[in-house]
Amino acid sequence: MYNLLKGKRGIIFGALDSNSIAWKVAESAHAEGATFVLTNAPIAMRMGEINELAEKTGSEIIPADVTKLEDIENLIEKSVEILGGKIDFVLHSIGMSVNVRKKIHYTDNNYDFTHKGFDISALSFHKVMQVLYKKDAMAEWGSIVALTYMAAQRVFPDYNDMADNKAYLESIARSFGYFFGRDHKVRVNTISQSPTATTAGNGVKGFSGFINYAEKMSPLGNATAQECADYTITLFSDLTRKVTLQNLFHDGGFSNMGVSNEIMAAFEDQE
């Protein structure tokens, strides 16, 4: 590897299992010389295999419910103590929609479920940054990255209220990123990743069909979880010090496509 993160300290949210992007980021950050704390919701930790990842990367685990400020405050304080200094990078890789899980149509959303998903998937990003900002816990030229999806800008019918959550997440990155950059020289960005076969992604209706569609639309093909992790590492590194307030598409070119020859050929075959 390249020692891009040698000596850097971080917090990684959302590593559920070996299919998750956060898991791949943790492995890559470890390989690049970083030390970090792993965190997830207590219920998610019971579902996942995070202990295996912690052992593999020599990391400690601090459970945190991101809907509770006191949990986030405890996480930040303990992370600084465990890691021995201010935080250089943070990955927010959290998303959950009860409406999607229960297959409730967007036009018939249960708003209690909507609020819960919004709190976990989007508002948590503001809460995490607010605590980091108030506690002055980020090192100068640190980097905060959240994972998002293109449904924040375009219609993907079965993505449901997660599309709204991602739109708000991206807005938070820009708005809070301004203050974090101005006051602490910390950069804040979102990565808009290809549809990826993670545990969360597979929960979306019609996902397998869409991932095949995106593959045929993208000139470079879909970006894998590992490729997303590699890109994330560059944003954590000192090579991207002046990149902030950006929603960065990492999708093989899908976001700039109108139609591809492969998709047109499929429709022409039907004539």
Domain boundaries, given as residue ranges, for the chain? 9-267
Mean pLDDT over the full length of the chain: 95
Q: pLDDT band for position 46 (50/70/90)? A: confident
Rounded Cα distance between 213 and 241, Å, is: 35
pLDDT in tens, 54-100: 999 999 999 999 999 999 999 999 999 999 999 999 999 999 999 99
Q: Extract the tokens encoding 123.
A: 């508002």
- Residues marked as catalytic: 149, 159
pLDDT at 42: 86
pLDDT at 201: 60
Q: pLDDT band for position 103 (50/70/90)? A: very high
What's the DSSP call for residue 242? T
9-267 under CATH 3.40.50.720, yes or no: yes
Q: Full-prediction pTM beyond 0.85?
A: yes
pLDDT at 205: 66
Contact 74, 127 (CB under 8 A): no
Number of other CB atoms surrounding residue 259 within 10 Å: 9
Lowest mean pLDDT among 100-114, 128-142, 202-216, 218-232: 202-216
Rounded Cα distance between 126 and 132, Å, is: 10
pLDDT in tens, 219-259: 999 999 999 999 999 999 999 999 999 999 999 999 999 99
| pLDDT exceeds 70 at position 269 | no
Q: pLDDT band for position 268 (50/70/90)? A: confident
- Secondary structure (DSSP) of 60-112: EE----TT-HHHHHHHHHHHHHHHTS-EEEEEE-----HHHHTT--GGG--HH
pLDDT in tens, 159-205: 999 999 999 999 999 999 999 999 999 999 999 999 998 766 655 66
Contact 86, 9 (CB under 8 A): yes
| Mean pLDDT score, 11-40 | 97
pLDDT at 197: 83
pLDDT in tens, 120-136: 999 999 999 999 999 99
**Residue 106 phi/psi, 5° resolution?**
-55, -35
